[in-house]
Amino acid sequence: MRAFSIPDHYRSSLIGRIKAYRKAQDPRKKDLTPTLLDLGPVRFVLARHFGFCYGVENAIEISYKALEENPGRRIHLLSQMIHNPAVNDDLVARGMRFIQDTHGTMLMDWNELTADDIVIIPAFGTTLETEARLHAIGIDPLRYNTTCPFVEKVWKRSGQLGAQDFTVVIHGKARHEETRATFSHTVRNAPAMVVRDLEEAHLLGRIILGTEPLGTFERIFRDRASAGFDPGQHLDRIGVVNQTTMLATETQTIADHLKQVMLEKYGNGAIGTHFADTRDTLCYATNDNQDATYELLKADAQLALVVGGYNSSNTSHLVELLAEKFPTYFINSDAEIIDADTIRHFAVPAQEKRTTNEWLPVERPITVILTSGASCPDTLLDRVMLKVLSLVDGVLDPREVVDEMVG
């Protein structure tokens, strides 16, 4: 896999060295065992795989390249380039400006854009309608297009399904910009609809089998289905693709369930006619992060810290997994750790910021799980780790311990 040129301030002198050491030992990632960093009274358990993925590093490289190649020109980000505030804030500080937020709400008027401006497409991609609008202004939306190759892979597979007269069921969050982009690219060639979770997939299955009235489709799915979508006609041949940041296991469970629905309705001999195998659309980085997180669940720890942007879908899923076993705090930076008694964090189910007291156990040693989502720089994990260590007496020097570990 190619190496990307990203700014040095995203490189980590601690966490990054451990990741590089594990990668050299196990380049094919066959060993998902976490890394234990023993610093005396505090021990950190680090996931085998976390942090910047291929698509994110690609997006960062292209964005900073645009700045370097166009001094003095106005450069706009169509929306958040990735879902991490530290990265987006740094780009804004260098003169970039957002056109819209992650839900498509405009932050500036389209009429402010001119043909001399540069617009960077985010890693999640964008809709064909937005591309057309930029073309009409005279802006080439593909000049600095940071769309993740794995998102584009989903679009390609959706196009293939459409060419084979399948309806595309997208597992995702309907308002998420990646899902909106995938939906837009899909409906060129196929009827499409969005399901959010397994519960909705079960509901869709009952609609297909006729045990749930078609009126339920109108009530639940109509605003998430393509124009002219006819559930009586368009649900007899289906394939499932995903928003790449969703839980890969849930996407596969949804696909497996809908395949069973088709088997029940049409029989084993006709399953290939009515259900398409789409396992190849699952993102490797999302899979790796999630598989590594399942390994973290085997650890003996007092708490977990997950670092990332609060609107990051893939990071939220890591939080949900770890929260099944550990007190889990979702933070976007070390600044959320106020002191040994108080931490600010994001509650995923409630979608709100909270403050928790007595979060750091008093017994020693304490073991802390530390991981992050695919859009989080490793430098943020360094800072979080150092902040925790500053709250505990008698810790070992992490630089010396890392030096000894990696040799």
Structure letter (DSSP) for residue 9: G
Helix, strand, or coil here: 180?
helix
d(CA 169, CA 190): 10
Helix, strand, or coil here: 365?
coil
Residue 178: active-site member: yes
SS (H, E, C) 301-334: CCEEEEECCCCCHHHHHHHHHHCCCCCEEEECCH
Sign of CA dihedral 336, 340, 341, 347: positive
Distance of CA 37 to the CA centre of its chain: 26
d(CA 236, CA 229): 12
Total residues belonging to the chain:
407
CA angle 228, 208, 236 (to 5 degrees): 65
- Backbone φ and ψ of 152, nearest 5°: -65, -30
- The half-sphere exposure of 106 on its side-chain side, counting CA atoms within 13 A, is 7
Query: Which tokens in the block code for residue 359?
Result: 């979060």
The strand pairing partners of 276, in sequence order, are 239
Closest C-alpha among 202, 236, 226, 227 to residue 216: 202
**57, 131, 177, 178: which is the annotated catalytic residue?**
178
d(CA 280, CA 363): 46
Query: Which tokens in the block code for residue 254?
Result: 């949804």
Query: Which tokens in the block code for residue 213?
Result: 């009235």
Structure letter (DSSP) for residue 223: G
How many other C-beta atoms are found inside a 10 Å radius of the C-beta of residue 68? 8
d(CA 139, CA 113): 9
| Residues labelled as active-site residues | 178
